[in-house]
Amino acid sequence: MNVKESASHVLPGCLPPEPPLETVHRASGRRGTLSLQQYVDGILHGDRTILARAITLVESSRETDRAIAEQIVEECLPHSGNSIRVGITGVPGAGKSSVIEVLGNYLISDRVKKVAVLAIDPSSKVSGGSILGDKTRMNSLSASDMAFVRPSPSRGTLGGVAQRTRETMLLCEAAGYENILVETVGVGQSETTVHDMVDFFLLISLAGAGDELQGMKRGVMELADLVAINKADGANTRAAEKARTEAQNALHYLPAALSGWTPRALTCSAQTGKGIAELWNCVIEYAVMTKSNGWFALARQNQTQKWMHEIIRECLRQRFEAHPAIKQRKDALEKEVLEGRITSFRAARDLLQTYAGISEPGST
């Protein structure tokens, strides 16, 4: 991430003084103003327009937006958490959005529980185009008043994007969305990042493609609570069943999970709907089991603790990289490292000492 970008994507937690709680937020004038209380009340009443506007604040890089976003999240926090959070990954083309659309429609079919679909797509920053977000996705699900579909925040580091999605997830929960699906794609660390914010992790895979082709690294298999071999329909049915057996065998050799859950593999088809109910039954079974053995709550606690440390790291990095004295000194030191005149350790220590000097109270 370059310095310019880091400076313009300060996380809410890194903000200077907070405005008072009763601040009236002047969003874009066109859309009028809402007070903090109006945002919070709107969210708690499940008002989708207000929820969407609050998420826009969460994703904004304007300081005033972030300040109110942080307060909204804080006010909503006591009302969040009553949900099952499911992470969904798989290579492009595996059928993630198709499965999510069918699964989402299945989940809202009895009109009891609402579903929110969020996404983390770090590729939008790397390539300038997004793997998950650019296509028109999940049309029928998006059209339902029981579903809320939000594409990935598009700018910032993976850490910054993840932080925004975590806050969005809390707002959705406060708005009464009890089933949260977080989609990601196998790019860099995004799977681990999503795994760290959900209760259950689903890998969507395909028959016929080699493991390397599918990016089905051992690491991703290790994260999965369930591997769903999609496109198990038509001529592909038998191959999908074979792939399921292979995946089940591969899962069998992984170390036992701390949750006590034994990961499974099944086949499904977003085209025919086969296996979708079984897939969700598996999620429910997992939730029931881990709630009774205490893992469900413990894992969430561990996650929130980890988020805190991540925010600290991200804030420190942003401040460090954005500081004019560091920017100035870094270029010179980098040059010396490249020319082999000093070691990278020495350069790093020099920069850190410079930063320690300028960040001491009264020294800036």
| Chain positions contacting ligand GDP, by CB under 6 A | 90, 92-98, 230-231, 233, 269-271
Residue placing its CB nearer to ligand GDP in the complex, 163 or 236: 236
111 conformational bin, left if phi > 0, alpha if psi -120 to 50, beta if neither: left
Pick 5 or 233: Cβ nearer ligand GDP:
233
In angstroms, rounded to a whole number, what is the distance separating the alpha carbons of residues 323 and 332?
Answer: 15
Contact call for residues 213 and 230 (beta carbons, < 8 A): no
CB 259, min distance to ligand GDP, A: 26
Q: How far is the CB of 113 from ligand GDP (least distance, A)?
A: 23
Amino acid (1-letter code) at residue 132? L
Q: Which is nearer to ligand GDP, 130 or 259 (CB)?
A: 130
Rounded Cα–Cα distance for residues 168 and 185 (Å):
19
Query: Phi, psi (5° rounding) for residue 7?
Result: -70, -30
Q: How far is the CB of 97 from ligand GDP (least distance, A)?
A: 4
219 vs 234 by CB, closer to ligand GDP: 234
Strands 264-267 and 226-230 turn out to be: parallel
Q: How far is the CB of 96 from ligand GDP (least distance, A)?
A: 3
Positive/negative CA dihedral, 179, 138, 229, 233: positive
Contacts of 332 by beta carbon, 8 Å cutoff, 6+ apart: none
And the tokens for 359? Answer: 């960040």
Which CB sits closer to ligand GDP, 157 or 205? 205
> Looking only at Cα atoms, what is the longest distance across the chain?
71
Distance CA 254, CA 337 (A): 42
Q: Give the residue with the Cβ less far from ligand GDP, 152 or 230.
A: 230
> Least distance to ligand GDP from the beta carbon of 194, Å?
14
Of residues 161 and 311, the one with the C-beta less far from ligand GDP: 161
Nearest distance from residue 94's CB to ligand GDP, in Å?
A: 4
CB 340 within 8 A of CB 315: no
Q: How far is the CB of 85 from ligand GDP (least distance, A)?
A: 19
